[in-house]
Amino acid sequence: MKGIWLLYLFVFSYGVFARTNVSTRPAVVNIGGVFTFNSTIGRVAKVALEAAVKDVNFDSSVLKGTKLRLTMQDSNCSGFIGIVEVLKFMETDTVAIIGPQTSVLAHLISHVANELQVPFLSFSATDPTLSSLQFPFFVRTTQNDLYQMTAVADIVRYYGWRDVIAIYIDDDYGRNGISALGEGLARNRCRISYKVGIPPLQQVSHDDITNILVKVISQESRIIVLHTNRDSGLIVFSVAKYLGMMDAGFVWIATEWLASVLDSSSPLPSSTMESMQGVLVLRQHTADSQRKRDFFARWNKLSGGSFGLSSYGLYAYDSVWLIAHALDAYFDQGGTISFSNDSRLSNTKEGKLHLQAMSIFDGGKMLLRNILQTQLIGLTGHIQFNSDRSLIHPAYDVINVFETGFRRIGYWSNYSGLSVIPPETLYMRPPNRTNENQKLNTVIWPGETAQKPRGWVFPNGAKQLLIGVPNRVSFQEFVTQVKGTDMMKGFCIDVFTAAVSLLPYAVPYKFIPFGDGHNNPSYSELVNSITTNKFDAVVGDIAIFTNRTKAVDFTQPFTESGLVVVVPFEKLSSSGWSFLRPFTPEMWSVTCAFFLFVGVVVWILEHRQNSEFRGPPKKQLVTILWFSFSTLFFAHRESTVSTLGRLVLLMWLFVVLIINSSYTASLTSILTVQQLYSPIEGIESLKRSDEPIGFQVGSFAEQYLMEELHISKSRLVPLGSPEQYAVALQRGPNKKGGVAAVIDEGPYVDHFLSSHCTFRTVGPEFTKNGWGFAFPRDSALEVDISTAILTLSENGDLQKIHDKWLTRPACTLESIAELESDRLHFMSFWGLFLTCGIALFIALIIYILQLWLKFRKLLSDETDFTGQGSSLSTRLHKFLSFVDEKEDQLTNKSKRRQMETSAYNEEIDDDSGRKTKRRQIDQS
């Protein structure tokens, strides 16, 4: 009975609570919609919003009896009209507004939303500057243009382009979108080389567009990003078709506006489709689902078949469901629909605007919070907001306009970049944005070609490239001006002209000599002239090194280069001490030390067993010295008897064999071949000295020697020609104007030595670089010239040009026999000596361990014999005596001790027996 009463009480309480909860839910909630009815997006949005409200009201599980009432206002593509229509909603207790359609209007009415605390949910305002901090009551239920422009930038990088041209509608939507594009391109080391805005008027004439595109076609870039609206965008394609800008070589990338036109207005007129063949288009990606397919099946009935469904319609539909779920949570939390007057509006002077009719939504902040926290599965996929109020998993379809329609060639997502796999599949895998993982299917580009456009050309009527060329006075085989003309000639000029001839387009250029014709010009000043726009490029023997690459871009090197040291050589004649020259002093010292070391080790190993290594100290010292050095001639008379001694001697004889062979070969060369000598062995020995150093005027060698090697400028002597090189080297450092060495780049030195056979290079190149042609940063021509240089290298033409200008005379070949044979250094034998030394130490360690074990045994025997231990000093003295004793003497002594021990034991036993017998007699 008690249980029945408790059940009755529970049911009664639940009924009261339920009636109380239902009573807080109004029968109808007003929401608004503001957009342009007669627009591509507006027509689709109107039908989608009506269908969404109908579906929400039909589903009693969402708002639990509360109905949505949608009132839509037409902004008529006008910011002013849009504001007026929004203010009307403020008089009708509207809790949320879907819209506005455009980013321009969103900037304006978001201030109203902030004041009256009514959430605005826009399904089409994509301007990235609509910040949640500035406009907290503005909620974007579609994708942010920040992601769309990142996708465009990734496409540009994927195809290897650098410069793009941006055509945009000149309002907040267009300007801010292109600004985001510029940031995305900069992250990929690309840029907007030219941008032009279209006036944001309802009617833009063909003449206006023609004037814009004429400026565009005069630019070098052929990558055009079109970020406009439907009306101006379609006119741009029509005029571009007329101007030939839809032919092969051009690339057009249109943003989401064109995708909405293709989806909602398909099929377009054939003339319109022909004007946009090959265009790449980005479309907001919506996940495939059965619910989405069912809605598409309903669409023809909803729209009457007059227009198709675009992604904006899907986002508009989901916006209504988002409000419905947020309101349901709002009512569950005890929220009510109530408004209060704004005291600031009540205090305004009377007028006909009726501003006091507008009120503040008291539950606006709570409803906004519920909207941002709501998660649901809609037609567009999983709907959820991240921390910056953007929809999670932004993604786009990449489509290609072709023939009478379009085809999808891939996807872009903020998670994985470009791919041919749907983003929903990639979300289940670890993120991978490596270059190898970025993929798109084949594109049919404008001109109906599948070959990727180069992306830039020299436009018709473009000015000639002004190319700076060093007017050299010396080494004119590399580059110089033809006297009496404006023409340039030389090895570098031929390489450049050959590379240009391989380009698939014409390059108008003009060589401009740089220099006074009396001295070699400064190459650093020549390269810096590109940064001041004096020259469009620099061609010549331009060395590539770090400081220059910070200011300009260089092509692929067309020849190797590096700084080398040139010195004069003295001929050395044979003398009475020539036999010492094969080894350096260091080598002589190490060899002698090892001879002595080996003698000492062998004496230690043989001393206890071999009689030939015993005797008075003076005799033993003589034996060590004789044995050590006699092994040099394999004439040692002392034989080794120990195993360790024989192993050590075998290893050492192998070392001696190699040293003997090397010494003999080197001495033979010294005595039979004319030798050349220089006290300078390379850049290191030159740095340690204080002698003058010559360098070529205009070369980067002067800057390198001072800044990198810290050589005083007072030591540097400028030289202007190969003849000055020869004179300065012949004079030497002790005469005025003379130098100890000349430091210059490898190609110049090779050419100099081909006609001056009395000089040589010492040491290796101490810099590794090359010669290239300089262009402004991010120049597209630099990439194509580099490719052409590689082609010249692969087909052998580069070597032919080299042989034409830089063939060496025969004196270089004749003088090869005069090159100095290097002396034998310790570094060439250190491995051999190290191996031998390790073997000697191992033998010594093994020998010492053997001695120690024998000595311990001997010491143990003595202790047993005497029954007494010994002090540390006594043990040490015994050990030294033990080491010095001969092995057979020690053996005899050990045998004698054993015999004495046995006799002693027998005597003890006998004595013990006699005592026992005497004790027995006494007892009896």
Residue-wise pLDDT tens digits, 441-484: 999 999 999 999 988 887 655 678 999 999 998 898 999 998 88
Question: Which of the 8 DSSP states describes residue 576?
Answer: T
- Is the predicted pLDDT of residue 551 greater than 80, yes or no? yes
Q: Which residues pair with 382 in a beta bridge?
A: 377
Residue 309 has pLDDT above 90, yes or no: yes
d(CA 81, CA 76) in angstroms, rounded, equals: 7
CA angle 387, 390, 394 (to 5 degrees): 120
Where does the pLDDT of residue 200 fall: very low under 50, low under 70, confident under 90, or very high at 90 and above? confident
Q: What percent of the chain has pLDDT over 90?
A: 44
Lowest mean pLDDT among 346-350, 361-365, 426-430, 449-453: 346-350
Distance CA 49, CA 601 (A): 102
Domain 28-142+306-383 = CATH 3.40.640.10: no
pLDDT at 574: 53
Higher pLDDT, 407 or 632: 407
Task: Fill in the amino acid letter for 6.
Answer: L
Tens of pLDDT, residues 729-766: 988 888 888 899 999 998 999 888 888 888 888 888 88
Q: What is the pLDDT of residue 46?
A: 94
- The C-alpha atoms of residue 467 and residue 785 are separated, in whole angstroms, by 14
Specify the pTM. Answer: 0.68
Q: What sign has the CA pseudo-torsion 228, 234, 238, 239?
A: negative
How far, CA to CA in Å, does 681 sit from each of 75, 131, 685? 86, 69, 6
Residue 120, strand partner residues: 97, 138
pLDDT at position 10 is: 42
- Whether the pLDDT of residue 413 is over 90: the answer is yes
Higher pLDDT, 662 or 426: 426
H or E stretch at 617: helix 617-630
| pLDDT of 675 higher than 60 | no
Taking residues 411-430, report their average pLDDT.
94
Contact 440, 450 (CB under 8 A): no
The per-residue pLDDT for 771 is 94
In this structure, are residues 441 and 433 in contact, taking their beta carbons and an 8 Å threshold? no
CA 531/CA 521 separation, integer angstroms: 17
Checking DSSP bridges between strand 223-227 and strand 163-169, what pairing results, if any?
parallel
CA separation for the pair 856, 13 (Å, rounded) = 102
Class of domain 677-768: alpha beta
Residue that wins the pLDDT comparison between 758 and 538:
538
Cα 619 to Cα 613: distance, rounded to the nearest angstrom: 9
Distance CA(829)–CA(765), nearest Å, equals: 25
The phi and psi torsions of 449 (rounded to 5 degrees) equal -125, 145
* Contact (CB, 8 A) for 140 and 125: yes
Distance of CA 208 to the CA centre of its chain: 44
pLDDT at residue 246, as a whole number: 95
743 close to 706: Cβ distance less than 8 angstroms = no
- The residue among 492, 475, 468, 476 whose CA lies nearest residue 798 is 492
**What count of other Cβ atoms lies within 10 Å of the Cβ of residue 95?**
25
Helix (H, G, I), strand (E, B) or coil at 639: coil
| Angle, CA 684 vertex, CA 683 and CA 685 arms, to 5° | 95
DSSP code for 487: -
Q: Which residues pair with 405 in a beta bridge?
A: 402
Q: Which pLDDT band holds residue 377 (cuts at 50, 70, 90)?
A: very high
Tell me how far apart the alpha carbons of residues 166 and 178 are, in angstroms, rounded to a whole number.
7
Taking residues 193-197, what's their average pLDDT?
A: 94
Using alpha carbons, list the distances in angstroms from residue 400 to 163, 164, 305, 410, 518.
21, 19, 25, 10, 60
The CATH code of the domain at 145-289+394-437 is 3.40.50.2300
Using the structure block, give the residue that is written with the tokens 């331009």.
542
- Stated as kind and residue range, the H or E segment containing 514 is strand 509-514
CATH topology of domain 465-561+771-806: D-Maltodextrin-Binding Protein; domain 2 (3.40.190)
For 508, other C-beta atoms within 10 Å of its C-beta total 10
Q: Which helix (H) or strand (E) holds 530?
A: helix 523-531
Least reliable range by pLDDT among 463-472, 485-494, 641-650: 641-650
Residue carrying the six token digits 């009457």 = 304
Roughly how many angstroms between the first and final C-alpha of the chain, as a whole number?
121
Q: What is the pLDDT of residue 682?
A: 82
Structure confidence at residue 503 (pLDDT): 87
Taking all residues of the chain, what is their mean pLDDT, rounded to a whole number?
A: 82
Order the strands of the 191-198 sheet from edge to edge.
191-198, 163-169, 223-227, 251-254, 280-284, 395-402, 405-413, 417-419
- What is the tens place of the pLDDT at every residue in 900-920? 555 545 555 555 555 544 444
DSSP-assigned states of every residue in 560-573: EE-EEEEEE-EEEP
Q: Which of 129, 173, 121 is nearest to 315 (CA)?
A: 121
Q: At what angle do helices 797-806 and 491-501 cross, to 10 degrees?
A: 160
Percent over 70 (pLDDT), the chain: 80
Return d(Cα 303, Cα 313) in angstroms, integer.
11
At residue 274, the pLDDT reads 94
- Overall average pLDDT of the 858-881 stretch: 60
872-881 pLDDT, tens digit per residue, is: 666 666 666 6
Spatial distance between the Cα atoms of 855 and 868, rounded to a whole number of angstroms = 17
Rg of the chain, C-alpha, whole Å: 48
